[in-house]
Amino acid sequence: CEKDVLIEILTQRCNSQRLMIAEAYRDMYNRDLITDIKENLSHHFKEVMVGLMYPPASYDAHELWHALKGVDTEEKCLIDILASRSNTEIFQMKAAYLMQYNADLQQDIDSETSGHFRDTLVNLAQGTRMEGYVDPSTAAQDAMILWEACQQKSGEHKNMLQMILCNRSHQQLWMVFQEFQNISGQDIVDAINECYDGYFQELLVAIVLCIRDKPSYFAYRLYNAIHDFGFHNKTVIRILIARSEIDLMNIRQRYKERYGKSLFHDIKHFASGHYESALLAICAGDTEDY
């Protein structure tokens, strides 16, 4: 079956190799491979195969555009991408967004979302997080500001909360979270969940979880997408493709440790046909369960 061949070729190559294949395809047949994939495949299988053909930054830009400009804003997609990307990845995705859609990502976030959720997304989209910088003397001070923000919940406190979470380095925030525990006797995630709600709360928690252990965050998101939302295809596809050459092996490990079943097992249980085959090929591994 030609679809099986397509799955094998595209899933067993890295992204740079797939881009070279697309270039050779254009040279040999004077046709665009992505266009031909779109015309000859359908539904979620098509989404997977097309998604594999984007460079990482272009794929993030593609997902953000559809999350912002679709019929309904897909807030969870915005959270997954912007809470987890490095400064470099954010700069690359903004450039890709501008090139692909002739639009400014921060402006689109500003116009399509609202409130403190919007302000936090815009802050993340600036890509201004400190890198590698640690100042132990200010960790307790930041922790106190976070604790007060969870107690008082004023607009000013929310601004301070998101400014610290969006701009301090990962190493600094590790210390801040420990100081927060010392001051409040409570984990920062539990405090945020108690004090805030809605997408603002989800975004803040995602930032904290990604700073602590990004593979665990994506394992959690995959489990939710598979089990709590009746297999939310867009989320599963997006995470598997976006993380496939970064930390998918670690995500699979965390998934199995935390939930008892392998990611491979759960995909096989809920998906079918060539769509299932494509997802399993990207997921690759954990076959000892069968």
Give residue-wise pLDDT tens across range 227-276.
Answer: 987 789 999 999 999 999 999 999 999 999 999 999 999 998 898 899 99
- pLDDT tens by residue, 88-139: 999 999 999 999 999 999 999 999 999 999 999 999 999 999 988 888 889 9
Which amino acid makes up residue 179?
E
**CA pair distance 39, 37, nearest whole angstrom:** 5
- pLDDT tens by residue, 202-224: 999 999 999 999 999 999 999 99
CATH architecture of 136-193: Orthogonal Bundle (1.10)
- Per-residue confidence band for 285, with pLDDT thresholds at 50, 70 and 90: low
- Per-residue confidence band for 282, with pLDDT thresholds at 50, 70 and 90: very high
Predicted TM-score of the model (pTM): 0.93
Tokens of 134: 């640690």
**CA pair distance 72, 89, nearest whole angstrom:** 25
Alpha helices in 74-135 (DSSP H): 75-82, 87-101, 105-112, 115-125
**CA pair distance 97, 100, nearest whole angstrom:** 5
Tokens of 143: 């922790």
Instruction: Tell me which of 71-80, 94-103, 245-254, 279-288 is least confident.
Output: 279-288
Homologous superfamily of the 3-126 domain (CATH): Annexin (1.10.220.10)
- Residue span(s) of the chain under CATH 1.10.220.10 come to 3-126, 214-284
Residue 20 burial (CB count, 10 A): 12
Residue 164 has pLDDT above 50, yes or no: yes
Give percent of the chain above pLDDT 70: 97
Residue 102 burial (CB count, 10 A): 7
Mean local confidence (pLDDT), 170-180: 95
CB 139 within 8 A of CB 182: no
51 assigned to a ligand binding site: no
Q: Please give the mean pLDDT across all residues of the chain.
A: 92
How many whole angstroms from its chain centre is CA 209?
A: 12
Which amino acid makes up residue 157?
H
DSSP 168: S
Task: Classify burial at 103, counting beta carbons within 10 Å of its beta carbon; exposed 0-12, middle 13-18, buried 19 or more.
Answer: middle
**CA pair distance 90, 76, nearest whole angstrom:** 17
pLDDT of residue 31: 94
CB 105 within 8 A of CB 142: no
How many whole angstroms from its chain centre is CA 206?
A: 10
Homologous superfamily of the 214-284 domain (CATH): Annexin (1.10.220.10)
Provide Rg for the chain, Cα atoms: 20
